[in-house]
Amino acid sequence: MNRTSATAEEPFSILEADGKAGRDKDPNLTPELLKRLYEVMVTTRVLDERALALQRQGRIGFYLQALGQEASHVGAAAALRDSDWLFPAYRQPGIPLLRRVPLDDIVNEWFGNDGDICKGRQMPVHYSFRQANFVSISSPIGTQISHAAGAGMAARIRGDDTVFMAFFGDGGTSSNDFHCGLNFAGVFKAPVVFVCENNQWAISVPLAQQTASASIAITASSYGMPGVRVDGNDVLAVYRVCKEAVERARKGEGPTLVETVTYRMASHSSSDDAARYRDAKIHDEWKERDPIARFQRYLHKKKLWTEDWELEIHERARHEIHEAVKRAEALPRPSLDSLFEGVFMNLTPQLVEQRAELLALKGPESEELGHFPL
């Protein structure tokens, strides 16, 4: 890495509080891309707000918000080509939007209905979108890290120039897969960008109790790769750092560990109450560093933002999400037959017998067998 390299120093940043870009730091993205990034970040927040409201109303069973972390994952993913692959954690809802996954596919997954790609087999917000090279999200912490390393090693063996990006939180760095994944990727120079979204909390465990290292990025040296610490609330800084890491990987120079320093403004999930363990004063300080407001000030200075455009983005997002929810709630639950589909090409004799036994139970109350969400 060059000017964006860092260890335990202050995270690399570009955007100043007033919206100005630091001298000689601005990646000078096209107006079209700048506006696209902003629209995705705002739509991500609207999506999160609507989904949490649905959960509170009992219409879906579970949700995880990315409130305050929009710049971190949207900026990182924007550095990839569409042909590159993503191995996400469960707090990057802006990436499917960035890759233009239909809203119906996203919302159907919340409900686990018959339109859901996974037919209700995953928890809500555990997406899988093959058309977007977005690998299935897994609840066990860190497993995607070693999966991305393996995929990257395979690409290197094939000799293609595909790059893989894995996301995980600061808590994920304590998983076995963090060591295994980074170690193998470093040894075999796998074309992987490991993005640790350090949001300061692994549910209720603070960063200080997660690691004794001066930073997450500094651990990269143990695996023979560069480690970069970047301001995760600065979409331009995240984009630039990840773009350099992606280009390095594509040239065959191996993996990079990027630590995006950000903050989880919401609770861990709809099942958590962060107010029970977090300092309200620190929370308010991070709120002042809102990544969307910060980016908005930059766009305003470049004459790319107007109040009318802001209103248009919000109204369009709310309307499209509302319509997608209406369609999702109108769809039936997955059929009982779907329990046996998509696992084996040909059902085993045992599964044929089990399917017949289950369908024999079908009656007035049978729909409860397919109840979802949780």
Active-site annotation holds for 263: no
Active-site annotation holds for 327: no
Name the strands in the sheet holding 227-231, side by side, starting at the edge strand that comes first in the sequence: 85-87, 164-169, 192-198, 256-261, 227-231
Kindly list the distances between the CA atom of residue 175 and the CA atoms of 142, 144, 168, 180, in Å, as whole numbers in the listed order. Answer: 6, 11, 10, 9
Distance CA 227, CA 259 (A): 8
Residue 168 bridge partners (DSSP): 196
Distance CA 186, CA 181 (A): 8
Of the candidates 99, 147, 264, 294, the residue annotated as catalytic is 264
E-only strand ranges, 189-239: 192-198, 201-202, 205-206, 227-231
Active-site annotation holds for 268: yes
49 closest CA partner among 251, 317, 329, 358: 317
Distance CA 263, CA 291 (A): 10
In Å, the largest CA–CA distance within the chain is 71
E-only strand ranges, the chain: 85-87, 164-169, 192-198, 201-202, 205-206, 227-231, 256-261
313 closest CA partner among 85, 127, 37: 37
Of the candidates 81, 100, 277, 322, the residue annotated as catalytic is 277
The residue whose two tokens read 């109303």 is: 57
Catalytic residues: 264, 268, 277
